[in-house]
Amino acid sequence: MDTLELRPSDKPRAIDPEEWKVRVDLAACYRLIAHFGWDDLILTHNSARVPGTTDQILINPMGLMFNEITASNLLKVDLGGNLVEPSEYEPIYAGIVIHGAIYLGRPDVQCVIHTHTEADIAVGALEEGLLPLSQWAMRFYNRLGYHDYEGVSLDLDERERLRQSIGSHPVLVLRNHGLLATGRNVAEAFSLAYHFERSAEAQLKIMAAVAAGAKMVVPSPETCERQAALFAGNEPRLQGQREWPALLRLADKLDPSYRT
């Protein structure tokens, strides 16, 4: 009987259980972003810090659609973009610049989600940015950074400016480009990306209605601040934890291969 010889890349790797859990969550995050339509062909990138390290992250291989991402094909790279483990793929360099800026400056951040959606880009292109026009938007009231567009992020010099732009905020609007949502785990970053997306979509509909002659009502600054503080006051419980198991069930129904 013939036997199949495993190629080196096919051999199962011994992966630390904590790292494997993060890989599964991050792979699910890619599939869910594709499911909700926030992906952009093979572009954009989402990452997670490798547990127990300060300078290693997991990130997508360049060239794969988000629905092809699995726990095991995520690349492990250092913050200079060098592969820590061999792979036939390379990371997207702009992703290394952007994500590395956040991980270097924010030890609290364990996951970074980066989207290019029409709603994110449209709201980021407005001088006033995101307005507190919906309950979704309240969590970002006075808790949002903005970063002016400098072209595709290929210059490591931009990292310091990105760090200054996000400050201690959980989310950074990349004007004319997209969004960065951070989290202390994958679920929290996903939750923030979700709420920002819905906020931006609602704002654009409201602004279109206003442009057509409708009158807009805006909650008072006191109400917005109180609600934003209430959302933030849920700490130390992280945002997004209650819905994440349900989102994983959704990812399983869509295609459980992300777990491989």
Task: Point out which residues bind Zn ion (CB under 5 A).
Answer: 178
- Residue nearer to Zn ion on the CB measure, 124 or 132: 124
**Cβ neighbour number for residue 172 with a 10 Å cutoff:** 26
- Residue nearer to Zn ion on the CB measure, 90 or 252: 90
- Shortest distance, CB of residue 179 to Zn ion, whole angstroms? 9
- Shortest distance, CB of residue 79 to Zn ion, whole angstroms? 17
Beta strands 171-174 and 145-147 are parallel
Answer whether 73's CB lies under 8 Å from 24's CB.
Answer: no
- Shortest distance, CB of residue 92 to Zn ion, whole angstroms? 9
- Residue nearer to Zn ion on the CB measure, 81 or 178: 178
Tally the C-alpha atoms within 13 A of residue 169's C-alpha that lie toward its C-beta: 23
Phi, psi angle pair for 240, to nearest 5°: 85, 0
Amino acid letter for position 11: K
Question: Residue 24 has which token pair?
Answer: 């599964």
- Shortest distance, CB of residue 16 to Zn ion, whole angstroms? 30
The neighbouring-strand residues paired with 174 are: 147, 178
- Residue nearer to Zn ion on the CB measure, 110 or 117: 117
Residue of closest CB approach to Zn ion: 178
- Shortest distance, CB of residue 197 to Zn ion, whole angstroms? 15
Q: How far apart are CA 130 and CA 12, in angstroms?
A: 46
- Residue nearer to Zn ion on the CB measure, 89 or 149: 149
